[in-house]
Amino acid sequence: MRVRMALCPLHPDAHNLWMDALTRWLMRPGAPDVPHTPREVLNRPDWHLDAVCRGQGVGPWVRDSRLATYAAQKAVCCECPVQRDCLEYALARPELVGCWGGTTDRERRQLRDLDRRRTSA
């Protein structure tokens, strides 16, 4: 079953309405055995609540790193209190793209390769 998130972005309670609907769906009798809170479903780490980028949408943060420099996003990351946690999270998940912890996916790939070379030597 796909959950449709096409709520009107102008509605001030759109996020709360979506979360309430999701919670009701997950808590219904006969619901599949899945995480039972929106936080568990979204799989967001606790540090994400303190991230400066939280609530800004994914558009500026997920772009083709071959074309984007992410300079503005990296500047935001430099001021973020959870930048290190974010970077560690992204380094542990090679499938993530975009700017995480002040790095692009290409930069994180280079960091992982460097770490592999150091540990294998």
Q: What angle do the packed helices 105-120 and 83-91 form, to 10 degrees?
A: 70
If pLDDT is split at 50, 70 and 90, which confidence band does 27 have?
A: low
Q: Would the pTM of this model clear 0.75, i.e. be above it?
A: no
47: closest CA among 80, 95, 23? 80
pLDDT score for 4: 43
Tell me whether residue 52 is exposed, middle or buried, using C-beta atoms within 10 angstroms of its C-beta: 0 to 12, 13 to 18, 19 or more. Answer: middle
54-79 pLDDT, tens digit per residue, is: 888 888 888 776 667 789 999 999 99
The answer to whether the CB of 35 falls within 8 A of the CB of 41 is yes
